[in-house]
Amino acid sequence: MTSKRVFSVFLVLLLVVVSAFAAKINLKDGIYGAQASEASYGYTAFVMLEIDNGKIVKVVADEVSADGKLKSNDEGYRANMEPKTGTYPSKFYTDLAMQLLKEQNPDKVDIVSGATHATHNFVKLVKAILEDGKLGQTITVNLK
C-alpha cells in the first residue's frame, strides 16, 4: 500500500472510532424530564434537561419530598451530610449538572465522592431521558 492509501484508511478508521464514542442526542429541541418511581429516604430524585440543536444546554437535578420541598434547600440535611461526606445536595447536583453539560454524555459523568447513590440515580435518569424522553413530559423511571 502506498503511504497515501494507508493514511486514508487510518483517517476513515479514526472517524469511525470517534463517531462511535460521540454522544448522540436524538431529541427534538425542548424540555424533557424523568423522575424516580419511588422515593428514597423521603425524597424522589428527578432530572430535567433542555435540548437545543442536539445538545444539552440546561440541566436541573434534585430530589423532592412529598410536601414539595427540595433536598438541595434542606439545611438540616446539609448540616448532617456535609461533615460526614464533604458534600451536600446543592453542591453535588451542581457538580453533576456541570459535568453533563461539559461531556454531553451520562457515561462520562464521574461519581461524586460522598454522593455515589445520587450520582448513579442521576445517570440512570439522564439515560432514561435520552432513550425514552417525551418532549414536554416527565417520564417515571424505576431506579432499582
pLDDT tens, N- to C-terminus, the chain (144 residues): 565 554 444 444 444 443 344 456 899 999 999 999 999 999 999 999 999 999 999 999 999 999 999 999 999 999 999 999 999 999 999 999 999 999 999 999 999 999 999 999 999 999 999 999 999 999 999 999
Q: What is the pLDDT of residue 25?
A: 86
* Cell output for 98: 456541570
pTM of the model: 0.83
Q: What is the pLDDT of residue 50?
A: 99
Question: What one-character-per-residue DSSP string does the chain give?
Answer: --HHHHHHHHHHHHHHHHHHHS------SEEEEEEESS-BTTEEEEEEEEEETTEEEEEEEEEEETTS-BGGG-HHHHHHHHHHHS--HHHHHHHHHHHHHHHS-GGGPPPPTT-HHHHHHHHHHHHHHHHH--TT-EEEE---
Q: What is the pLDDT of residue 4?
A: 52
**Which residue, 76, 103, 101, 106, is CA-closest to 89?**
76
Domain segments of the chain as ranges: 27-141
Q: What is the pLDDT of residue 74?
A: 97
Q: Which CATH class is domain 27-141?
A: alpha beta
